[in-house]
Amino acid sequence: MSVAELGFWTDGAAKSAILRFVDRAVADVAPEERVAVFDNDGTLWCEKPAYIQLDFLIRRLAQMAREDSALTAKPAFRAALEENLAWFGDAVTRHYQGDDSQLEELAGAVLSANAAISVDEHATRVKAFFEQTTHPTLGRPYTACGYAPMIELLRYLEAHGFTNYIASGGGRDFMRPVTGAMYGIPPERVIGSSVGLVYRDGTLVTTAQPEFFDDGPVKPVRIWGRTGRRPIFAAGNSNGDIEMLQFTDSGPQPSLSLLVRHDDADREFDYTAGAEKALGLADTSGWTVASMRNDWAQVFCE
């Protein structure tokens, strides 16, 4: 199947909007200004029943709680040990609905999970996780949970002179070990949340201090800081992507903002929690909504 055909996309409004936009961008926008940014969780790969990185972190928190029983007094560690994924999912959903009452507890645990190790050791842990772990309900390796239509879209944009970046609320150094193989996006083009690093004896060591939480209004700031350009294409799926989509819309160049709607319970999942505001803004903002059920001929690569 030719990438030029966007064969994983069914004929319809979303596919037509992408094709028209790319034709216009090629005609009117210099190649160096053809910058595209993609959220990751729920946009490029599956984020249910829990974020992939959250599975990685929960396993680490449970290990820490088994080694130090005093940690079970903290809700996040107790939930990890009890395999209570609902607690973590609820904390994230509440955040996207404007309630951060559980986020501080979750953030503190997450920041401690892989602190005081070298960046090389962290990458080794991440690679081992991806090599050993499969999706809990889909039964496929996490590295096979990327969305075929979106990966095809990455290649299509590249073929037309675009430079693709990931701009995710997920951890930068969690994504970097796999984005090359999964998406063809090298580590220097991965923008994400990060912890502080310190230089020590020839290496970089992680801390338990946050550097950036790459979500909401921080996304445009981080995109600009990394690229020095306003994107002309952006793809997201949640309330945390609103400002990135708005930033893309607000420039003088032709632009397209794409919102992935999860509405396919048979092939993936059907949910709007955490995306209600974004979906509500789509019509008035002129964003293109891609229905997983109606616009994607295939969800995952075979």
User: For residue 84, what pLDDT band results from cuts at 50, 70 and 90?
Assistant: confident
- pTM value > 0.85: yes
- Tokens 């338990």 identify what position? 208
Q: Which of 76-85, 112-121, 280-289 is the least confident region?
A: 76-85
Neighbouring-strand partners of residue 9:
296
- Which band of pLDDT confidence, cut at 50, 70 and 90, is reported for residue 105? confident
> What is the tens place of the pLDDT at every residue in 213-223?
999 999 999 99
User: In the predicted model, is pLDDT for residue 2 greater than 50?
Assistant: no
For residue 291, the 8-state DSSP code is E
Torsion, Cα of 38, 76, 104, 219 (10° steps)? 0
Enter the tokens of residue 126: 């991440």
In this prediction, residue 201 carries a pLDDT of 93
The predicted pLDDT at position 3 comes to 56
269 touches 262 (CB < 8 A) = yes
Query: To 5 degrees, how large is the angle CA 38–CA 189–CA 246?
Result: 35
Q: Residue 266: helix, strand or coil by DSSP?
A: coil
- Cα Rg for the chain, rounded, in angstroms? 19
Element of type H or E holding 112: helix 103-113
pLDDT digits (tens, 9 = 90+) for 157-174: 999 999 999 999 999 999
Average pLDDT over residues 4-11: 90
Mean pLDDT of 91-104: 80
- Pairing of the two strands 163-171 and 288-291: unpaired
Under a CB-based contact definition with an 8 Å cutoff, are residues 169 and 230 in contact? no
**Tokens for 54?**
């959250």
- Structure confidence at residue 5 as a pLDDT band (50, 70, 90): confident
- The CB density around residue 7, as the number of other CB atoms within 10 Å, is 14
| Top mean-pLDDT range of 74-88, 101-115, 281-295 | 281-295
pLDDT digits (tens, 9 = 90+) for 244-270: 999 999 999 999 999 999 999 999 999
Question: 226 with 191: CB under 8 angstroms?
Answer: yes
Which domains are delineated in the chain?
3-48+140-295 (3.40.50.1000), 52-117 (no CATH)
Q: Which residues contact 142 (CB under 8 A, 6 or more apart)?
A: 45, 52, 55, 129, 130, 133, 134, 135
Q: Give residue 276's pLDDT.
A: 95
Q: Which residue has the higher pLDDT, 208 or 232?
A: 232
Residue 104 confidence (pLDDT)? 79
Strand order in the sheet with 203-212: 203-212, 190-200, 163-171, 35-38, 233-236, 256-261, 288-291
How does residue 4 score in pLDDT terms, banded at 50, 70 and 90?
A: low
Q: What is the pLDDT of residues 44-73, one digit of tens each?
A: 999 999 899 989 999 999 999 999 999 999
Report whether 268 contacts 46 (CB < 8 A).
Answer: yes
- Give me the pLDDT at residue 30, please: 98
Q: Is the pLDDT of residue 103 over 90?
A: no
Percent of the chain's residues with pLDDT above 70: 99
Whether residue 272 contacts residue 279, with contact meaning beta carbons closer than 8 Å, is answered with: yes
Residue 1 pLDDT class (50, 70, 90 cuts): very low
pLDDT at 106 over 90: no
Estimate the crossing angle of helix 148-159 against helix 13-28, to 10 degrees.
20
